Amino acid sequence: MRKTKLICFAAVVLAVGVGWADGGELRPVACNPDLALFPGLMLRGRVSGTSETEVAGLGSRAITGELELPGSKQKSGIHFALDYSTEEAANPDMLLIDFNGNGKFDKDKAITLRPEKVQKSISYQAQFRLTNMSAVRQGRTFPLLLREGIFCYGSGGQYMVIISFAPAVQGKCQFGQTEYTIRLIDNAGDFRFDCKGAYDSKNPGPMRAGTGDIVLVDTDDGTFTRSFTKAFYGQPMNVDGEWYKLSVSADGGRAKAEKVNVAAGEIQIDTDKWELVLHHKGELSLLAGGRDPLPISAGKYDIMYCRRWSAPNDKGQRSCLMAADTEFILGKGSAHSISVAAGKKTTLPIGSPLSTSMTTTLKGGTVEFSLATPTIQPGLSVLIVTGDGADMYTRLDEPKVTVTDAKGKVIDEFTMEYG
């Protein structure tokens, strides 16, 4: 009897091995958060500026906390410490991160925080640019690229720590007769790569953006800097004019692409760099393209998010505008939808010209002004506009307002505050 069981078990193992025999091997790689979704996996944590810690190796004023996924109750298991390089430092200028959950911080790997110009509602802000670190998960070491920084609201208030990173695996995968480099990016915080793009209004996920790991297929030189296809895991992908669905083994070590039949149309946006997140019956689709139309499964889609970049300046830097259907995402209205017909092209006028409106409210002898950019076609609210080379958490300068009377005489001039 025992012999029979062993033979059956061996047959199962053999079947699994055969099923993934042609799947490309995936290995952990460092990935810029910009290649993920606005941008990368974002974690945040809060701590009081008056806290103290007795963790070995940290200063007496150091404060510690745990990072979490915004909009989620999921614990990340990633801890951080804010410390001071000198006794005279008024604010923490060192960030330490424990990715492995052992409660130990290596001061030799502390990230130096660089103070930045702050808005009036923020008492302290410090950033750090791309920094190398690593995390051990499921017996594998993941090299990581981190960035973002910390904020403090009010004197002696709470510090908010934000980090963005993009755990990723990369390898070769066969698409028909051609082998391409693929990269899978964890966008859910579990260091797995098989989370399908999905949206549930009752459980909208981190940042109310739904869930879904990201797949990149590089059809150029394998560096993911020029020509690549981008999609959520589980979303049909068009590669070399054929449609494929990617599947990943349970251990995240292998991937294979299988051909599927798709009735498809096209979407076109008049700019040379853009991204679009669409919703259809609980599933999400992610498109990233330029001026050429992109193929997409035919159907009716709710427009959720869009990013549109300007043309690069002489340094290669771009401004970026991010917009969303906020009323739909917050459950306050119906979605702005588009229909993509099979064999047809749908053009979306997303971007310029922007419409801006100002509202005024009279409270006693005070007039309050509120400036907003409510919509860009078709029905998206502007969330963020960044300047050349700025990250998504750096705002442009506050707008200046001049108030005149009916004859054009200047009554008042002031600068508006964000928030």
Q: Is the pLDDT of residue 171 over 50?
A: yes
Tell me the CA end-to-end span of the chain in Å, nearest whole number. 71
User: Dihedral through CA 71, CA 396, CA 292, CA 346, nearest 10?
Assistant: 60
419: Cα within 13 Å, side-chain hemisphere: 7
Which pTM was predicted?
0.84
Q: Which pair of tokens denotes residue 82?
A: 């804010």
pLDDT at 14: 38
Sign of CA dihedral 373, 375, 377, 383: positive
- pLDDT confidence tier of residue 244, bands split at 50, 70 and 90: very high
Q: What is the pLDDT of residues 282-308, one digit of tens each?
A: 999 999 999 899 999 999 999 988 888
Residues in contact with 307: Cβ distance below 8 Å, sequence separation at least 6, in sequence order: 38, 274, 275, 320, 321, 322, 323
Give long-range contacts, CB 8 A cutoff, 24+ apart: 219-228: 219/180, 222/180, 222/181, 224/35, 224/181, 224/183
pLDDT at 4: 39
Residues in contact with 10: Cβ distance below 8 Å, sequence separation at least 6, in sequence order: none
How is the chain split into domains, by residue range? 41-165, 168-261, 263-419
Q: Which of 260, 263, 271, 268 is nearest to 294 (CA)?
A: 268
Q: What is the pLDDT of residues 78-111, one digit of tens each?
A: 999 999 998 888 889 999 999 987 778 888 889 9
Q: Which of 393, 252, 404 is nearest to 414 (CA)?
A: 404
